[in-house]
Each structure stands twice: as C-alpha cells, then as structure tokens.
Structure 1
C-alpha cells in the first residue's frame, strides 16, 4: 500500500481541526495502519506537540538527521513518539518526517494539551 498523497484529518471533540498529507515510505504506511488513533498531545520545547505512540513505527531507512519546519508531522525514533511541529525545529538525529499539515496549524499552536483523533480524511 502506498501512502503518497494519503490524507488524514485530526479531530478534537468531533470537529476537524487540521488535515495533513502523508509521505509514501514504510514509517508513514505503518502510521496509517494504526488509524484511527486517539492521542493526548502535549507541548514540548515551545516548538511541537508530542505523544507516545502505542508502539514504535517501522523504520527501514537509515536514520538521517532532519530539520523540521512548522507543519511537519514526524516520528522521533529514540522516544517512540509522534511530533507535530508548530514552530520550526532544530536539526535532530532520528527524526522521520511522516507528512505535513495542509491546514490547521493555528489549532495545533493552541497552548496546553489536547486530545486528538488521527483518522483517514473524509473527502
């Protein structure tokens, strides 16, 4: 299954707050296999919202360094967590970009924790 162009949506309290398009690699495909998925996202380093996934994602690519931009959805291999960046990040070893927000960055920037359901987008 290819995930190139697969769109997902993020909902809070039943309302869609953001949409994203995923990459086509093994880690992104593995993330899609977990959907729907409800996670409590917490602020981290005034840069991103993070949550630990129920299990680590498949990673077949060598762990190259990645510098995330605001709107990137990533998997941080060392901690086994998902990260949604609402500000640009720093060069990070072990960060795998899963995709990018198409809309809703302002909702992710909201201060504090939020319970979000990740699911395939309803077109």
Structure 2
C-alpha cells in the first residue's frame, strides 16, 4: 500500500510493507497527528490504539525514512536519522524519496492517508 504524508504543506510518499502491523496501521487512516522529537533521530506521535505485532521480529534496526511502531509505548515513530536496534520496534514502512526524509526533522504535525 502507498501512503501520502503531508508535512508542513509538502506531500511525501511512503510505502507500507506486507505485515500485520502495516495492515493494522492502514486501517486507522486517515490520521492527523502531532509530532514530538525523540532522541534527535525520530518524530513520535501517539496512535489511537496499539497495533498488531503478529509475526513481527523482537527487535528492529531503524534507518532514516522508516515508519515504525514502538509496541511498548504504542506510538508511531518516523525516523529522520538512523536509530539503534530496539526491542519492541516494528518497522512497517518507508518513505519513497530519500530527499523527503529531511522534512521529518522539524515536523510538528503530519497528515497520513492512503495515496490515491
């Protein structure tokens, strides 16, 4: 599935992987979320509910541009820098264009919807 993120008036495309977490996230769309910075590597937001982690690895090593769910806290993580391996982190998508990753660093709000 392809997504369209709107960040600061700019459109950013992303693709979801074929996982239970990605399918569960897609079922929540469209979403508008307020973002906060976390550890200088990611923007995070609370989700309306926890997502399925069926079949997910115990840990993931996030890269810039990854869309992820942090199961222990139940939040969305949008990585604008490479992160560290994290237990409970489930990567379920990625930004399509590497040039768009920098937009995440200062984003305060994001609108996420299916691409049409």
TM beyond 0.5: yes
Gaps spanning 5+ residues in structure 2: where?
A: none
Q: Hey, which bits of structure 1, 4+ residues long, moved more than 2 A?
A: 12-15
Residue matched to 1:27: 21
- CA shift at 1:63, angstroms? 4.5
Paired with 1:62 and 1:106, the residues of 2 have a C-alpha distance of 27
- Other-structure match for 2:33: 39
Which residues in structure 2 correspond to 1:25-104 (within 5 Å)?
Answer: 25-103=19-97, 104=100
TM-score by structure 1 length?
A: 0.86
For residues 14 and 39 of structure 1, what CA distance do their matches in structure 2 show? 14
- Give, in whole Å, the separation in 2 of the partners of 1:66 and 1:13: 28
Residue 7 (1) aligns with residue 2 (2):
yes
Q: Mind listing any 5+ residue stretches in structure 1 that lack a counterpart?
A: 1-5
Structure 2 distance, partners of 1:67, 1:59, is 16
Per-residue CA deviations over 1:5-29 (Å, capped at 9, x if unaligned) read: x11011136541x110001111100
Q: Give the TM-score normalised by the residue count of structure 2.
A: 0.91
Question: What's the C-alpha RMSD, in Å, of the aligned pairs?
Answer: 1.4
Closer/same/farther in 2, CA of residues 72 and 34 from structure 1, 3 Å limit: same
